[in-house]
Amino acid sequence: MKTLYLKPTEKDIKTAARIIKRGGIVAFPTETVYGLGGDATDAGSAAKIYAAKGRPSDNPLIIHLSKAEDAEKYAITNDIYYKLTDAFCPGPLTVILPKKDIIPPEVTGGLDTVAVRIPSHPVARAFIKACGVAIAAPSANRSGSPSPTGAEHVKADLDGKIDAIIDGGPCEIGLESTIVKLSGGCAVILRPGAVTEEMLSAVVAVRRDRSLYVKPDENTRPEAPGMKYRHYAPDVPVTLLKGPHSDVIGFMKNRLAEDESTGVICLESDKDAIRGKNVRYLPNDAKGQANALFSLLRGFGETDAKRVYSVMPSRTGLGLAVCNRLTKAAGFSVEYVGVTIPVLGLTGQSGAGKSTVAAILKERGAYVADCDEIYHGMLYKNSPMVTELQKYFPFAVADGVLDRPALAEAVFSDKDKLALLNSVTHKVILDEVRARLKKAQEQGYKFAVVDASQLFESGYDAECTAVIGVCAEQETRINRMILRDGISRQKALSRISGQHNEDFFRVYCDEIIENGKDEEQLREAVARAISKYIKE
Ligand code: TXA
Ligand code: MG
């Protein structure tokens, strides 16, 4: 078959729509990645899509619409669907709904649900409108390889196998849409994307599906069937490196010294530290990483690299989607460097009872690094930390002594000031944490716990084996703060308002420990939470 190359003009979009109406398949740009579209009501078009991609036919397609209400024709909608589409559509969000009969089972891999998405890309929208029918489209790549973020990627994978490609230039986001299913009034994230958990949780309750971190085996059937296949993988095997960033870079340098063709994915900020013919740099920010990742992974196919080592960026916001794709590209292959004993991050709101949980973990044999304690130990008169703080918060230092209440007062109600304080202190604290963990490992500790209220903000979560969040009811937390810190109820409330709410922790932590009043129950919850990561 000769593939037709089309431009995003009105005339060419009409041509593309005619191809769809005749049962053909056309690749088109969206804001996330390129899709390979066919008539969603036609089983024959679906068969052509599967054949062109080399995709297993039990892996369902997403149907693309030009407006949220159009879903009525193809699926059974509900209030949450409209809440979500009002907030985020058109845009990079896909919602799973029960399907109507007009969608043939060939499109949904035999499932009785259908994935619905309303893309925002003007060319995608014009194309869907011109077709006058829902467009079933997976990403327009060879099955298993990274999704195409430019028409040249589609050409490389599918030239001669599909009827046409509409070239709309590079995709703005670069990672596929967020996929949610709706369950018990909750949006359950099956695939993270540019509509982040934080954004979703402003509208509905949110949960993460376990398939996001756990390698599927024969016994687990992932909710999104596509997530069980090796994915996004370049032609070269990828290994993720976890550990202190400097150790990760050191490990990469050693590999490069042994074999100069070693592939490396690190950050732009590492440019001075590490160089090599197959070293590639991701931008430091998650948005830039999302945009660059797939193209960068594809690029390794054209090098002589036999293995690629990659850093693991921070998982907050869009970073979660970046890390998810990297983890899939690596087929869950992770190597720990530097500190190799399991490290559990421990975080949560003030007064939730982190210290109690840390004490229980200590009894169970953990080395505990308490970031609060480390910080306070660095605040002696004229210490390097106090001198540094004086530059940014002059009002809080007199005669080389830090006025901690004044500093606390200033930051607890001001998010910008808190962020500044954090950026000044995190680096110093974390270097101390890393040094202590290395020592603990040498001393024979079997695992370590890093107790940090600012775990995610500091980026340290990326170095943890897993992150445990401690949650407790607000009234319990307030009472604990009043007793522990000797503050008024009013002050406790204002501190709470300056912190992340509980949803944040439920969304970002791997495990949640509910800290009620019963100590026996708490011990059991702790044992349960760590059982997956610590072999005792
Ligand atoms: O951004 C995107 O979503 C892109 C553009 C083209 O819209 N599309 C895309 O499609 O990434 P695809 O086919 O590569 O990925 C669709 C994912 C697969 O993992 C599939 O298993 C899941 O969605 N999926 C589709 N229908 C489903 C359903 N009814 N239930 C659960 N998962 C479903
Ligand atoms: Mg895909």
Using one digit for the tens of pLDDT, what is the confidence trace for 272-301?
999 999 999 999 999 999 999 999 999 998
Give the whole-angstrom CA distance, residue 391 versus residue 496: 27
List % helix, strand, coil for the chain (3-state, nearest 5): 45, 20, 40
H or E segment and range at residue 310? strand 308-310
Domains and CATH numbers, the chain: 4-212 (3.90.870.10), 238-336 (3.40.50.11030), 343-530 (3.40.50.300)
Residue 46 has which token pair? 């679906």
Do strands 401-402 and 397-398 pair parallel, antiparallel, or not at all (unpaired)? Answer: antiparallel
Candidate of 49, 139, 142 to mutate for ligand 1, largest count of ligand atoms within 8 Å of Cβ: 139
Which of 119-133, 164-178, 417-431 bottoms out in mean pLDDT, i.e. has the lowest?
Answer: 417-431
Residue 267 scores a pLDDT above 90: yes
Looking at residue 44, what is its pLDDT? 98
* Banded pLDDT at 245 (limits 50, 70, 90): confident
Candidate of 176, 178, 189, 230 to mutate for ligand 1, largest count of ligand atoms within 8 Å of Cβ: 176
Looking at residue 210, what is its pLDDT? 67
Give the whole-angstrom CA distance, residue 286 versus residue 160: 35
Provide long-range contacts, Cβ within 8 A and 24+ apart, for 44-51: 45/20, 45/136, 46/104, 46/106, 46/107, 46/136, 47/106, 48/23, 48/24, 49/25, 49/136, 49/137, 49/138, 51/161
Digit-coded pLDDT (tens) for 457-471: 888 888 899 999 999
Candidate of 32, 111, 178, 179 to mutate for ligand 1, largest count of ligand atoms within 8 Å of Cβ: 179
**517 burial via Cβ count (<10 Å: 0-12, 13-18, 19+):** exposed
Of 85-99, 194-208, 231-245, 485-499, highest mean pLDDT: 85-99
Percentage of residues of the chain with pLDDT beyond 70: 96
Residue 118 scores a pLDDT above 70: yes
Digit-coded pLDDT (tens) for 358-412: 999 999 999 999 999 999 999 999 998 999 999 999 999 999 999 989 998 888 7
Would you say 440 and 359 are in contact if contact means Cβ atoms under 8 Å apart? no
**Pocket of ligand 1 from Cβ distances under 6 Å:** 30, 32-33, 35, 59-62, 94, 96, 108, 111, 113-115, 117, 137-139, 176-177, 179, 190, 223-227
Digit-coded pLDDT (tens) for 469-488: 999 999 999 999 999 989 99
Instruction: Determine how many CB atoms are found less than 10 A away from the CB of residue 368.
Output: 20
Among 467, 448, 445, 471, which Cα is nearest to 456's?
A: 467
Give residue 115 CA to ligand 1 midpoint distance, Å.
Answer: 7
Exposure string (b/e) for 21-45, b if CB count within 10 Å is 16 or more? Answer: eeebbbbbbbbbbbbbbbbbbbeeb
Q: List, as ranges, residues with CB under 5 A of the ion ligand 2.
A: 139
Looking at residue 12, what is its pLDDT? 98
* Banded pLDDT at 140 (limits 50, 70, 90): very high
Look at the pTM and tell me if it is higher than 0.75.
Answer: yes
